[in-house]
Structure 1
């Protein structure tokens, strides 16, 4: 009877967590959906030029020029096309970094918190060593040594996302491990892997998802900084960071070269942060 009551309570908790139709959730989620759709579907459906290979004779065209809604850059490339393709690069890098952190770090943290003992000690001490390094400085060093590319940027940033996700996962696991339904599952003879997959993972997922949304914004900012310094997405491939770097060379004459990618970066990061924080606040009240 007790097991049935626990199962009913868990189903009710799952239904409550599914109620995320509040305006503070819907509004940033809708904005984020528009940004993602614009970046990935916009270049396919809009009549815009390729982001590279522009005509240098058409450089520095102003906004609303024929065929160039936002104008062109010093190389004659369409700014709108580069902003949208740059968004693709930033979102892909951020998603890949956070997925690696979620899968590797989340698994290590859950395993560490669930098993405990020497396993917990070994895993957490290894992760503490990684956290002890100054992450931004070491990221710059790794990016410099590997060379500028999208793959190397993902690897450099994922190196530090793993311990962050592991700590969140372990803390959530330690809280859940003391709850009655976990003890009930173990007393019923449920295999450890099944307890982890069926009972633990769904209940720590909200914390990991909200942390991942906040991490998306952080990774986009860091990727932009690396690209700005020439250590991220290499030119002429578009990235918000290297677009800002290119535009700042003629900032006084053509400020819009910096405004457009900066506005796109700001809006995307703000939306991820607001959505993640609102989800965290809503789930913490349930």
Structure 2
């Protein structure tokens, strides 16, 4: 009698589907959170009727949530909390994006030039950056912010200046790995100019590491900006930011804790989303 061989194992299609689904989720969740935060902060005031974040009526101070015309109520100055939360998010996000863009461009360029040229150029650039890294950056940031005065532009400049060394180190390490690759050697032997080597051959290959670090750095910068604003050295009141909203809300924490809860929650969700996105991108690009 003929025998029929039964399969000893089922196909592994289901686990692969689960892994694929999880890969989409780990990227989709932080992107969805960031889309929600950016959309609320930048698009909501354009498409919906939102009160001005400053210049509120003192007679309408400390209104509870869901009061007519005030979704999250008002603060002790009569300003709409929802409006201040959205405009404060704009300030915090602009600082975070601007600092990381400036740090990426300046630090990425310095690190790539330093590693590609080598020799005395590399030694001088890296020793200067080592001196900056040796100092406690947060203390120096506080000192610089205090000397320049509280404003959004000064906050961006102070934070961007101290983010350059970290970006430069990452860029330099990536460039050193790529400098001896066959395509780089071939481009060099063909007489390609230095600027073309840097921007056409090096930049696209070191960009993933720099972008990943910038995603992780976004959360750090937003937290530091919040701390500076909390201390009165960041974005000055009455202009809102999440940091100075928390600082102002602590005065009436026992009576109206929501004045601290809402900006703290917005800060937490935004930082969490950037950190999750950065970790996901690092895992994917490191496994390429």
TM-score computed with the length of structure 2 as normaliser: 0.90
The CA distance in 2 between the partners of 1:23 and 1:278, in whole Å, is 10
Residue 235 of structure 1 corresponds to 237
Q: Distance in 2 between matches of 1:132 and 1:52?
A: 41
Tell me the residue number matched to 1:14: none
What does residue 256 of structure 1 align with?
Answer: 258
How far residue 79 of structure 1 moved from its aligned partner, in angstroms, is: 0.4
SS at match of 2:235: coil
For 1:208 and 1:138, locate their aligned partners in 2 and report how far apart those are by CA, in whole Å: 24
**Equivalent residue in structure 1 for 2:27, among 25, 28, 33:** 25
- Quote the residue 1:128 is aligned against: 130
Give the CA RMSD over aligned residues. Answer: 1.0
User: Which of 114, 117, 127 is the equivalent residue of 1:115?
Assistant: 117
- Find out whether 1:265 has 2:270 as its counterpart: no
Measured in 2, the distance between the counterparts of 1:111 and 1:22 equals: 36
Deviations 1:30-70 (A, max 9, x none): 21112111101111122220000000111111111100000
Match of 1:221 in 2: 223
2:8 is aligned to none
State how far apart, in whole Å, the 2-side matches of 1:251 and 1:170 are.
47
- 1:145 is aligned to 147
Cα deviation for residue 191 of structure 1 reads 2.1
SS in 2 for 1:22: helix
**Aligned pairs, number:** 266
- Match for residue 276 of structure 2 among 268, 274, 277: 274
1: distance between equivalents of 2:46 and 2:77?
Answer: 22
Q: Identify which of 69, 72, 97 aligns with 1:67.
A: 69
In the superposition, the TM-score normalised over structure 1's length comes to 0.91
Task: Note the C-alpha offset of 1:189.
Answer: 2.5
For the pair shown, the structure with the greater C-alpha radius of gyration is: 2
3-state secondary structure, aligned to 1:275: helix
Give the whole-Å Cα distance in 2 for the aligned partners of 1:22 and 1:165.
Answer: 28
Task: Give distance in 2, aligned partners of 1:157 and 1:218.
Answer: 10
Kindly provide the CA deviation profile for residues 139-183 of structure 1, in whole angstroms up to 9, marking residues without a partner as x.
Answer: 111111111110111111111011111011001101111222211
Q: Deviations over 1:74-95 (max 9, x none)?
A: 1000000000000000011111
1:5 is aligned to none
Distance 2:235 2:45 in 1: 19
1:76 match: 78
* Structure 2 Cα separation of the partners of residues 210 and 74 of structure 1: 41
Which residue number corresponds to residue 5 of structure 2? none
User: Aligned equivalents of 2:33 and 2:203: distance in 1?
Assistant: 29
Residue equivalent to 1:185: 187
Deviation at 1:23, TM superposition (A): 2.5
| 1:283 corresponding residue in structure 2 | 285
